[in-house]
């Protein structure tokens, strides 16, 4: 299973802590309609409106009525690894006529990548117009994860791993587990990689090239 490629990274370093993610959400969605806990995650996931919106599958339109169906595990509204959550899209906006538009081009995911692979301070420097090029301070910090594992460029596998970490950070589970209710992180990781690697055709390859160029510029 290709997920084993990411499993080594999971063992190396966990994702951003709850306090860090909440600080990002407070910055990006100021003001939050209700406070988010910073030390525990009990009111994350489909309890708080902001985390609910970010985790909601893009084919659903987020609403309080939908929350009731998701919470009750309505068979028509299960949240699984086979749907893209809103947080993987630029501006959290999904175009059903072009599902690749804006996919994996968003600030929150960049912050998560920087926090995990370079340094927490580098994540603070990310804004909507920036991507993953290392700063001088990052380059000088030889102890960060990217240097430890010899990562020179951002790959599709790294993007998939980062998305898994952000999914977990937005959930209300306080300790890592590979399966959270109906959501399987193994499947989520593999589905992201497969979406780009298995789909044949020149157009798909062009999109992959542009995506990786955007992450690595």
Question: What single DSSP character describes residue 39?
Answer: S
Report pLDDT for 192.
93
Q: Which domain holds residue 101?
A: 3-216
103 pairs with which residues across the strands? 89
Cα atoms found within 13 Å of the Cα of residue 206, Cβ hemisphere only:
4
9: pLDDT strictly greater than 70: no
Q: Calculate mean pLDDT across residues 143-151.
A: 51
Q: What is the pTM of this model?
A: 0.82
Q: How many CB atoms lie within 10 A of CB 194?
A: 14
Question: What single DSSP character describes residue 57?
Answer: B
Domain count, the chain: 1
pLDDT band per the 50, 70, 90 thresholds, residue 217: confident
């Amino acid at each position: 299973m290709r997920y084993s490629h990411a499993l080594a990274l999971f063992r190396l370093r966990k994702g951003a802590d709850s306090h860090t993610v909440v600080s990002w959400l407070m910055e990006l969605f100021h003001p939050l309609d209700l406070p988010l806990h910073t030390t525990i995650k009990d009111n994350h996931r489909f309890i708080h409106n902001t985390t609910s919106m970010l985790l909601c599958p893009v084919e659903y339109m987020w609403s309080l009525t939908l929350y009731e169906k998701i919470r009750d595990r309505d068979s028509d509204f299960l949240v699984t690894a086979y749907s893209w959550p809103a947080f993987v899209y630029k501006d959290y906006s999904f175009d059903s006529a072009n599902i690749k538009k804006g996919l994996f081009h968003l600030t929150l995911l960049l912050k998560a990548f920087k926090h995990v692979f370079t340094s927490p301070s580098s994540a603070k420097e990310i804004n909507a117009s920036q991507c993953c090029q290392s700063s001088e301070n990052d380059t000088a910090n030889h102890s960060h994860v990217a240097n430890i594992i010899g990562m020179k460029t951002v790959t599709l596998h790294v993007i998939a791993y980062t998305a898994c970490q952000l999914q977990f950070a937005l959930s209300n589970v306080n300790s890592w587990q590979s399966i959270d209710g109906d959501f399987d992180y193994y499947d989520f990781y593999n589905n992201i990689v497969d979406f780009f690697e298995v789909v044949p055709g020149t157009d798909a390859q062009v999109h992959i090239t542009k995506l990786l160029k955007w992450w690595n510029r």
